[in-house]
Amino acid sequence: MLETGGLILIFAFAVIVHEVAHGLAAERLGDPTARDLGRITLNPIPHIDLTMSIILPGLLLLSGSPFLIGGAKPVPVNWFNFKRPRQDMALVALAGPVSNLIQAAFFWGLLLIVPKIEFLITLLAQGIIVNVLLATFNMLPIPPLDGGRIVLGILPKNLAVHFSKLERFGLIIVILFVVLGGFSKLFLPLFDLLIYGIESSLK
């Protein structure tokens, strides 16, 4: 019960920081929309999204998945405030996964120095795994995931227009990807690699 509670807290914090990172990056590039709408906050309530915060993680829990992935309500961004709209939007998208990798590195650093208490080690290991998997998941090239936004930013404009049309089906594609087992096939090897790395760090 404690491990599950810790996992949920870590997951919630990871996705909130992820969205706040998007908002801060957008603000830095000239768009204050996220701050104006109160989304640059660690308060979880403004960030809750029915599909990504509840349905997707719920499907993973019900399917017996050893990991938990999902997301928060996307931070609103007005790319007309950017000097280079597509490229700056790609940078905003990249900020989210980078924030998760920074969190994972922080948890891994703590793992190397904290007392070897089982609950504490489990909590830090969960922090590493959740954040690495969250960053990797969001880098899938499916709009509206961050990877899709990054692809839109680097494609030639004519190809980007066609690729952007996938966004209307994006959430359906993501849910099918999870339900049909694609998620497990792609991420289980990464999960096993992380477990191996964590166990090696503790020796």
Count CB atoms within 10 A of the CB of residue 136. Answer: 17
List the chain pLDDT tens, one digit each, 203 residues. 446 677 778 988 999 999 999 999 999 999 999 999 999 999 888 888 877 777 777 777 777 665 666 677 889 999 899 999 999 999 999 999 999 999 999 999 999 999 888 889 999 999 999 999 999 989 999 888 899 999 999 999 899 888 888 888 887 888 788 778 777 788 889 989 999 999 998 88
Say if residues 120 and 105 touch (Cβ distance below 8 Å): no
Does an H or E element contain 70, and which? Answer: none
Enzyme catalytic residues? 19
The radius of gyration computed from the CA coordinates of the chain, to the nearest angstrom, equals 17
pTM for the model stands at 0.86
Q: Please state, in angstroms and as integers, the Cα–Cα distance from residue 183 to each residue in 15, 74, 191, following that order.
A: 18, 21, 11
**In angstroms, rounded to a whole number, what is the distance separating the alpha carbons of residues 32 and 81?**
9
